[in-house]
Amino acid sequence: MTNKKLIDKLRDYMDLDRKKQKDKRDKIRSLLKKLKKRQRALEEKLENADDRKTQERIQRDLKVLHSQRKKGVKLCKDIGAK
């Protein structure tokens, strides 16, 4: 095999890895959008909640969603940097 053919094969293998990373990043982005939508819905529920216990539960759920979204955004950036 010539050097050009070997380099082409190597490039093809590297592109497969990049394609998998891009697919993973796209899936994470779609999940982040869903999480943001849920977060907005919870924020709206929090505004309309009258019971203190319900407000505390919603705030706890919001903290969890926020931290998970933050982790997802960081992971997305890390995948994009590779």
**What Cα–Cα distance (Å) separates residue 53 from each residue in 10, 36, 75?**
59, 23, 33
In angstroms, the CA 71 to CA 80 distance is 14
Q: Tens-of-pLDDT digits for all 82 residues of the chain?
A: 678 887 877 777 777 777 888 888 899 999 999 999 999 999 999 999 999 999 999 999 999 999 999 999 999 888 877 6
Domain count, the chain: 1
Domain extent at residue 75: 24-81
Dmax (CA) of the chain: 74
